[in-house]
Amino acid sequence: MSSDTLERIRLCGAVPQHVAVIMDGNGRWAVQRGLPRHAGHRQGMNAVREAVEGARQAGVEVLTLFAFSTENWQRPSSEIGALMGLLRLYAEKEKRELKRQGVEVHVLGELHRLDEGTRKSVDAIVEGTRGGEAMRLNLMISYSGREELLRAVRALARDAAAGRLDPESIDDEVLEGRLFTAGLPDPDLLIRTSGELRISNFLLWQLAYTEIHVTPVLWPEFTREHLFDAVLDYQGRERRFGRVTAGEG
Ligand code: FPP
């Protein structure tokens, strides 16, 4: 499928290599329509499909979606059950298509907290899409940025206490090697839907210099065109990483 925006993206230079997304607004979308919250999550699953296909079409190499936070475990058990059910459905329904598209799926987070059935579906989509070379899709499930950092710090402290690691050698690269995103570039672009201006405990280390695009669109209504708009917005930014503009100073 072609689109004018996609054509403009091609003409506008570098595409973000890694795009991260906070998918927000499922509940509000459902409430606005007098529907139960889980109906918003179900519709949100279609938006996930749109985002994945759009990112692949635009030439994004890594797409990281915040699908379930550690804090989300505090939601009513019926909503947690619905979200886990959707995750299983997505893993089972999309596996073959993602494989066909060359999308390699990784599921990252505190996965020991998932029930056995969900864990199995998750393992199956990871296994079934391994080796895909068109794009890497990270589904962050039972994930929290602070918890990720604590895990990394604990692992480093264990190695230092055991004499395997010199504390003075700990630098960005050593710490990054202990994060779920080890080996990946930091996100270039973060998209957040539903107009909220928060990071919400997502990729706290990795987002240090990420460009942020907030759209008022609620996640269930997010389409690949919204993703293309975000990429175009990114292409118009000047990234300085804390330095001055080229030619200045
Ligand atoms: C935030 O909306 C969204 C979530 C907590 C879950 C995201 C899940 C999906 C998009 C569907 C399934 C995902 C996959 C990968 C199959 P919210 O409920 O916080 O919305 P609100 O802020 O309007 O209440």
Q: Encode burial over 14-51: b for 16+ CB neighbours within 10 A, e otherwise.
A: ebbebbbbbbbbbbbbbeeeeeebbbbbbbbbebbebb
Summarised one tens digit per residue, pLDDT across range 46-90 is 999 999 999 999 999 999 999 999 999 999 999 999 999 999 999
Which of 22, 24, 84, 114 should be mutated for ligand 1, with most atoms under 8 A from CB? 24
DSSP conformation class of 59: T
| Ligand 1 mean position, distance from CA 222 (Å) | 12
The C-alpha atoms of residue 104 and residue 185 are separated, in whole angstroms, by 16
| Ligand 1 mean position, distance from CA 53 (Å) | 19
Residue 24 known to be catalytic: yes
Summarised one tens digit per residue, pLDDT across range 136-168 is 999 999 999 999 999 999 999 999 999 999 999
Task: State which ligand 1 atom lies nearest to the alpha carbon of 89.
Answer: 16
pLDDT at 245: 73
Summarised one tens digit per residue, pLDDT across range 234-244 is 999 988 888 88
Q: Is the minimum distance from the CB of 41 to ligand 1 under 6 angstroms?
A: yes
The C-alpha atoms of residue 242 and residue 244 are separated, in whole angstroms, by 7
The C-alpha atoms of residue 7 and residue 55 are separated, in whole angstroms, by 14
Residue 115 known to be catalytic: no
Alpha helices in the chain (DSSP H): 4-11, 26-32, 37-58, 77-101, 116-129, 145-161, 172-176, 224-235
Q: Which residue's CA is minimally distant from atom 6 of ligand 1?
A: 67
Average pLDDT of the residues of the chain: 96
Summarised one tens digit per residue, pLDDT across range 24-53 is 999 999 999 999 999 999 999 999 999 999
Domain ranges of the chain: 3-99+106-235
Mean pLDDT, residues 213-236: 98
- Homologous superfamily of 3-99+106-235 in CATH? Decaprenyl diphosphate synthase-like (3.40.1180.10)
How many CB atoms within 10 Å of residue 231? 26
pLDDT at 242: 86
